[in-house]
Amino acid sequence: MTGTLAALGAGLAVIGAGIGLGQIGGKAVEAIARQPEASGDIRGAMILMAAFMEGAALIAILLAFFIK
Amino acid sequence: MLRILAIVAILMAFSPSLTSQADKNGLKKAKEQTHQGHDHSGHNHGHDHSGHNHDHSGHNHDDHKGHDHGHKHDDHAGHNHGAHNGDHGHGDHGHHPHYHVTDYNKDCGVAVKIDNPEPSYDPTATAIHHISDANVWTIMDMVRVPLPAIIYNKDRGMEFFSTGKFQAGHHDNGHYGYKDYVLFEGNIHRITCPAFDAKDKYEVQGFDKEEMVSAAGKNYEKKFAIINNKAYNIEQKTIWDGGMLGGTPSSFIDLSPTKNVVSMGLVSLILFLLFRKAVKKYQGAPNAPSGVQSFLEPMFQFIRDDVAVPFLGDKHEKFLPLLMTIFFFILGLNLWGQVPFLGNVNVTGSLTVTAVMAIVVFILTNINGNGDYWKHILWPPDTPWFVKIILIPVELLGMFIKPLTLMLRLAGNISAGHIAILSFVGLIFIFGKAGTNMAGSLTGTALAIPLTMFMMAIELIVAFVQAFVFTILTASYLGAATEEHHHDDHH
């Protein structure tokens, strides 16, 4: 049953990542709508933040894979 | 730029697959009985079984006599091989005998039993096998390009030979052994039994492996090569991960240029030729960009103006070659792994490759770090002592966590994409009951084609985004390390 628990952990990590991505994407679109001239900077920051968040999620998923 | 590229490529060449084998062991959960089908003389399997000199003496073939081999193979030949990248779950699975070691607790020369199980398909093991590095380059289970093997072992020193000697077949398992080396799932393994009579060429009937629990309660995998109806223990190459991912120091070190290493060389060469072509355009009279130049110039400008300059400011000139090398090297390899039917090369999804790149970034960040950078790590200014106690370990850990996430993010993203595509292709075999059910296979194919195309379109975006993210994070780490701080003493 350890495999099942690991899969559960991976799933939980993805829920967290999903919430994070939603926040980042939503706020970035909002910011671009408010200030379209700053869209370039906002997009760069958005991708960077998404990468940070995704890194945490991926570490959780990889740990779920490796720790049996 | 190319000089750094060459150095990175050489560094990677010397660490061919330190961890890729370990990924395989670590990720694999299901026990898979492996098998080979070299004892079906007279069949046309559609792959490289021809030209083998099959020695049938001593084999038990009675249970094959009733099969109508020719008919079944005509049905499936072409269909299974031509439609997709996967080489698993063939209709001819049922004809491949499985070899089982009778007693897994015994070593060296244990008797084996043979059976012909129902065709089965294990999506996890298949996916892991396909994203792993290998000593042969398999294109659609038909063409197998042998690669050079460079092996060091304590008894005989350096050895050079071609992996063509193994005559790899289905599952990238070698049909023949060379000295005490055999090819198992695309990787060179060594027979560890002292009593084994190592010849220059001998037939390997098949392989078997079993999950075992050691006396210390640790899980490990026991692998066997079946030779002359006897099982001989085999071990993988040395993997210096301290047993964390299943790798241990073993009796030999594999320095071979594997599939991944050859890919890196080829991509570096392609990049060199493309950039040389583009650079030549700038040497002539100024003109509107054309050809490959108009593909490379926007990306170059984007990295310079949106990545290097904002993060590094005045110092961007110094680090621009590094950032460009990282970006185009990763992008090239990501796209190379995306080319369908090219053998599922998963270079940037290999932890070894990304680890070397992350180590390069780690070293460069720290040797370029100025006094302020080190001061902020070792003795954070403007903080009370009790905060320092917490902050210093956190900062020290952060030094190592940054390259670690860099390594995991790229490998994880690219591997995840490959696994997703392989899973969709695997639908064909899940619906088709490992190739025995034609209607199911067709349903699976109808589902798999649009899903795979959708996934590949997403992966195309991911290829660019991950190259960009790796570059921008490198730039931000370098920027943080070289930034001049102006502390105001009054606050």
Q: Is the pLDDT of residue B75 over 90?
A: no
**Does A58 contact B245 at a Cβ distance shorter than 8 Å?**
no
Nearest residue in chain A measured CA to CA from B220? A68
pLDDT at B70 over 50: no
Please state, in angstroms and rounded to a whole number, the distance separating the CA atoms of residues B347 and B354: 9
Query: B90: closest CA among B114, B67, B72, B109?
Result: B72
CB contact under 8 A, A3 and B29: yes
Q: Is B412 on the interface with A (CB under 8 A)?
A: yes
DSSP, res B464: H
| B448 has pLDDT over 80 | yes
C-alpha distance from A9 to closest chain B C-alpha (Å): 15
Flag if A65 and B27 touch (Cβ within 8 Å).
Answer: yes
Confidence at residue B131, expressed as pLDDT on a 0 to 100 scale: 79
pLDDT value, residue B272: 94
Distances (CA, A) of B407 to B212, B262, B339, B358, B469: 31, 21, 23, 6, 12
Cross-chain residue pair A51–B409, CB shorter than 8 Å: yes
Q: How far is B482 from chain A (nearest CA, A)?
A: 20
- Nearest CA among B298, B301, B292, B299 for reference residue B272: B292
Q: Per-residue confidence at B335, pLDDT binned at 50, 70, 90? A: very high
Predicted local confidence at residue B485, as pLDDT: 66
Chain B: residue nearest A3 by CA?
Answer: B29
Q: Please tell me if residue B480 touches chain A, with a CB cutoff of 8 Å.
A: no
B198: which 2 tokens?
């190592």
Is A47's CB within 8 Å of B476's CB? no
> Which residues in chain A show pLDDT less than 70?
1-3, 65-68
Average pLDDT over residues B148-171: 83
The average pLDDT across B304-322 equals: 88
Tokens of B258: 């594997």
Tally C-beta pairs within 8 A across A and B. Answer: 42
Question: What is the chain A residue with the closest CA to B307?
Answer: A44
Q: Supply the ipTM of this predicted assembly.
A: 0.76
**Mean pLDDT computed over B284-308:** 85
Backbone angles phi, psi at A24, to 5 degrees: -60, -50
Decide if domain A2-66 falls under CATH 1.10.12.10.
Answer: no
User: Is residue B173 over pLDDT 50?
Assistant: yes
Shortest Cα distance, chain A CAs vs residue B353, angstroms: 17
Are the beta carbons of B121 and B426 closer than 8 angstroms?
A: yes
How far B73 CA lies from chain A's nearest CA (Å)? Answer: 37
Asked if the Cβ–Cβ distance from A48 to B476 is below 8 Å, we say yes
From chain B, the residues in CB contact with A66 under 8 A are: 26-27, 244-245
Cβ distance A65 to B26 less than 8 Å, yes or no, reads yes
Q: Chain A closest CA to B197's CA: distance in Å?
A: 37
Specify the range with the lowest mean pLDDT, choosing from B11-25, B243-257, B280-294, B302-316: B11-25
B416 interaction partners in chain A (CB closer than 8 Å): 58
Q: List CB contacts (< 8 A) between B476 and chain A.
A: 48
Q: In sequence order, which ranges of B194-347 are alpha helices (DSSP H)?
A: 259-283, 292-302, 309-312, 316-338
Measure CA B187 to chain center: 11
List chain A domain ranges: 2-66
Q: Which tens digit of pLDDT belongs to each residue from B400-444?
A: 988 988 888 898 888 888 888 888 888 888 887 766 778 888 888
Q: What is the pLDDT of residues B82-141, one digit of tens each?
A: 333 333 333 344 456 778 887 777 778 777 888 777 777 777 777 777 778 888 887 877
Is the pLDDT score of B271 beyond 90?
Answer: yes
Query: B449 to chain A, minimum CA–CA distance in Å?
Result: 26
Out of A47, A56, A65, the one facing B468 most closely (by C-beta) is: A47
- Mind telling me how many Å the CA of A40 is from chain B's nearest CA? 9
Report the Cα–Cα distance between both ends of chain B, in Å, rounded. 44
Query: Is B408's CB within 8 Å of A62's CB?
Result: yes
Please provide the average confidence, as pLDDT, over all residues in chain B: 75
* Closest C-alpha among B363, B292, B473 to residue B8: B363
- Our CA-based measurement puts residue B393 at a distance from the nearest CA of chain A, in whole angstroms, of 19
Cβ neighbours of B472 in A, within 8 Å: 44, 47-48, 51
Residues in chain A within 8 Å Cβ distance of B473: 48, 51
Which token pair is B385?
Answer: 């002592």
Report the pLDDT value the prediction gives residue B20, as an integer from 0 to 100.
39
- Kindly identify which residue of chain A lies nearest to residue B467, measuring between CA atoms: A51
Residue of A nearest to B472 (CA): A48
Chain A CB within 8 Å of residue B476 CB:
yes
Does any CB of chain A come closer than 8 Å to the CB of residue B306? yes
E strand or H helix at B207: strand B206-213
Contact A58 B473 (CB under 8 A): no
Name the residue among B245, B416, B472 with its Cβ closest to that of A48.
B472
Contact B29 A68 (CB under 8 A): yes
B331 band by pLDDT with thresholds 50, 70 and 90: very high
Q: Looking at residues B378-385, what average pLDDT do you find?
A: 82
Nearest-Cα distance to chain A for B301, in Å, is: 14
Among chain A residues, the shortest Cα distance to B403 is held by: A55
Chain A neighbours among B 196-255 (CB < 8 Å)? 219, 244-245
Chain A residue numbers touching B27 (CB-CB < 8 A): 65-66
Chain B residue closest in CA terms to A51:
B469
The secondary structure of B95-139 as a DSSP string is: GSPEEEES-TTS-SSEEEEEE-PPP---HHHHHHHHHS--SEEEE
